[in-house]
């Protein structure tokens, strides 16, 4: 299993947060990815016309993009 997963924001000012995956369940990793995405997206959507909507779209896209990378990271995560 990979030692860390990179979480990438979707904007031009993309930042990243590294999350350790070692010894964690898929549910724990998912929770940490969502929390990190919320943090990044909060910063990305400051000043948006509709910040709550923009933030939710950003979080959803960031989480989806992160888990799309999961097979390359050696992670097996349940998705809906």
Taking only the tens place, the pLDDT of each residue in 16-49 is 788 888 888 888 888 988 898 888 888 878 888 8
Q: Is the dihedral of CA 34, 35, 38, 40 positive or negative?
A: negative
Query: Which has the closest alpha carbon to 55: 6, 13, 11?
Result: 11
Q: Check residue 68 and report its DSSP letter.
A: H
Predicted pLDDT at 9: 43
Of 59 and 13, the structure prediction assigns the larger pLDDT to 59
């Amino acid at each position: 299993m990979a030692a860390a997963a990179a979480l990438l924001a979707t904007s031009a000012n993309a930042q990243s947060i590294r999350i350790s995956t070692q010894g964690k369940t898929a549910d724990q990793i998912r929770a940490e990815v969502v929390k990190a995405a919320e943090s990044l997206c909060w910063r990305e959507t400051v000043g948006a016309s509709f910040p709550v909507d923009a933030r939710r779209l950003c979080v959803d896209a960031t989480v989806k993009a992160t888990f799309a990378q999961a097979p390359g990271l050696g992670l097996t995560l349940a998705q809906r």
